[in-house]
Structure 1
Amino acid sequence: MQATMSDSSNFVSQVEEEVIEKRNEKPEWVEAFLQRTFFDGCTLHPIRRNEKNRYCINCDSSACQYCLSSTTHRHHKILKIYRHVYKDVVSLVAMEKYIDCADIQPYKCNKRLVIALNPLPHCGPILNTETSCDICKRRLAEPDLYRYCSISCKVIAFERKSSDLAPPFLSIMSPKKALKVEQLKHKRKGKPQRAPFF
């Protein structure tokens, strides 16, 4: 009985280490995504007011809505880019599918929460460094909840961190692995508890 308990705890720690390793990876496409320019006219589809406001993660390219309707992008991962204060932003809900967006300040844009790709313009003078972004020192609206003003600031913080165990993390933990770790942690010990009969 003692050997199986230590085996299961070793397995749990091994799964946790794999999860930490996975969360300490930087998705390959993030750097290229942050360097892209959007909202230029599409040369393949020169239609009036047709801008490249989509990003294909699989192809690592910006595209317009007509480019994406072709069969080449049929099952690809696509992000739609919006403009907020003359800067590129992406929907928080869409981005959370691909990277860990914890600690990034969201903004309201047309009734949706978005996060900035790169720092937005300053929102006034910074009186206190505790209320600003850890990297670029731009003022945060809610400094008690967030540490970064944009995705690029979080990527810089990720690259500068001293330990693999320390946040910030960029890769998201897959739901299956997270569930498996939780199930292993809360394994039933001792006698099973039965519901009372009424």
Structure 2
Amino acid sequence: MDTSSLPEWLKTLLTEKFFNACIIHEDAKKNEKNVFCLDCCEGICPHCFSLHASHRLLQIRRYVYHDVVWLSDAEKLMDCGFVQSYITNSAKVVFLNQRPQPRVSRSSSNICIICDRGLQEPFIFCSLSCKLQHILESGGKLLSYVYKCESITLPEPGLDDGQMTPDTVLEPAGSMRTESGSSGSGGNAGGVGCTTLACTATTEIVRKKRSSISAVRPVCGPVLEISNRRKTTPQRSPLY
């Protein structure tokens, strides 16, 4: 797809290689670039948030080994009508780019009009890039489908999966909200809640592991003593 006519942020979003190691924090742990900064037009890792605290950030996720974004986030940036969405972790997501397909599948009666990937009714695009390519090739007005970033309202701050990462589009990096979407009542309310959930999950895992170990552990005591007793010559009762 010719991306020369796309806005800079959108062109970079579709060509950026996410989930690669961040060059700036190459030696740090969890340094994958899984966030896109719309102001700087670049992918960043969680360690870069201090440099982009007041910028608008978009969380990038993975589904079947490909980059996706929440549909609710994508709809704030462009018209996502007729783009196939999928559900993962109880949230609808859309693919950023079309996925490689070894051979054309004609088993489905409904396919993507760009890459021939099988789709559900009534969708006709498998990804955001396929829809943009169709708009460009058909001579449509791109500004009618792509929204200006400046006109999007910032949502409430949030916390994603217990980490300091934005869970929605155009959101300050230093944000805190519980997974259910409600804001914390205190300065560290969201962090405390996530810490408690993490501790509970860890305790449950340890309990299950201990239960499985005890289930296969040999029984000690008299049973083990009898099983290890060496056989001797049987003693006969005296004859009278």
Q: Distance in 2 between matches of 1:84 and 1:124?
A: 21
Q: Distance in 2 between matches of 1:135 and 1:36?
A: 21
The structure with higher relative contact order (CA 8 Å, sep 6+) is 1
**C-alpha displacement of 1:112:** 1.1
* Higher Cα radius of gyration: 2
The residue number in structure 2 matching 1:154 is: 131
Aligned residues: percent identity?
Answer: 35
Contact 2:20–2:33 (8 Å) recurs in 1: yes
Equivalent of 1:132, from 98, 111, 133?
A: 111
- Shift of the 59–163 alpha-carbon distance from structure 1 to 2, 3 Å rule, reads closer
Q: Distance in 2 between matches of 1:169 and 1:157?
A: 14
TM-score by length of 2: 0.53
Equivalent of 1:80, from 34, 39, 59?
A: 59
Query: Equivalences for 1:174-193 in 2 at 5 Å?
Result: none
The residue number in structure 2 matching 1:47 is: 28
The residue number in structure 1 matching 2:39 is: 58
- Shift of the 168–58 alpha-carbon distance from structure 1 to 2, 3 Å rule, reads closer
Query: Equivalences for 1:3-14 in 2 at 5 Å?
Result: none
Equivalent of 1:170, from 127, 138, 145?
A: 145
**C-alpha displacement of 1:75:** 2.5
- Shift of the 64–98 alpha-carbon distance from structure 1 to 2, 3 Å rule, reads same
In structure 2, list runs of 5 or more residues that go unmatched: 153-240
Q: Distance in 2 between matches of 1:96 and 1:75?
A: 22
The residue number in structure 1 matching 2:181 is: none
Equivalent of 1:143, from 85, 97, 121?
A: 121
SS in 2 for 1:30: helix
Aligned residues: 144
Moved beyond 6 Å, runs of 4+: none
The residue number in structure 1 matching 2:80 is: 101
Contact 2:84–2:126 (8 Å) recurs in 1: yes
TM-score by length of 1: 0.64
Query: Equivalences for 1:16-27 in 2 at 5 Å?
Result: 26-27=6-7
Contact 1:26–1:170 (8 Å) recurs in 2: no
SS in 2 for 1:31: helix
Q: Give a deviation string over 1:65-108, Cα, whole Å, max 9, x none.
A: 1202x1x4222221111111111111111111111111111111
Q: Give a deviation string over 1:38-72, Cα, whole Å, max 9, x none.
A: 0011232232232110000110110001202x1x4
**C-alpha displacement of 1:121:** 5.0
**C-alpha displacement of 1:30:** 1.2
Contact 1:53–1:81 (8 Å) recurs in 2: yes
